[in-house]
Amino acid sequence: MDVSSAGVGQSSTTDNSSAELRAAKLAKSQQEAEGKASLELLQSAEVSPPRSADLAVGQNINIKV
């Protein structure tokens, strides 16, 4: 009976470690997916500022005192 109880305890430890490994892999893949989605969102939001047709516009300021 001692042999079977040791085998059951060992099996339980193996099940726990494989479940922890599976959970870690799922968490890692979830983080990678969220990171990829965040990068895609940031890249899609990139907007270049509009350029003026005339570069001299806004260079002179008239001030009346």
Whether residue 63 is contained in a domain is answered as no
Give the total number of structural domains in the chain.
1
Whether residue 25 is contained in a domain is answered as yes
- Token code pair at residue 22: 């599976």
Q: What is the pTM of this model?
A: 0.49
- Token code pair at residue 41: 């969102």
Q: Given pLDDT bands bounded at 50, 70 and 90, which one contains residue 33?
A: very high
By residue range, what is the domain housing residue 37?
1-41
Q: What is the pLDDT of residue 36?
A: 97
| pLDDT: which is higher, 49 or 18 | 18
Write the pLDDT tens digit of every residue in 44-65: 987 777 666 677 677 777 788 7
Whether residue 54 is contained in a domain is answered as no
Whether residue 10 is contained in a domain is answered as yes
Kindly give, in sequence order, each residue whose CB lies less than 8 Å from that of residue 58, ignoring residues fewer than 6 positions away.
Answer: 52
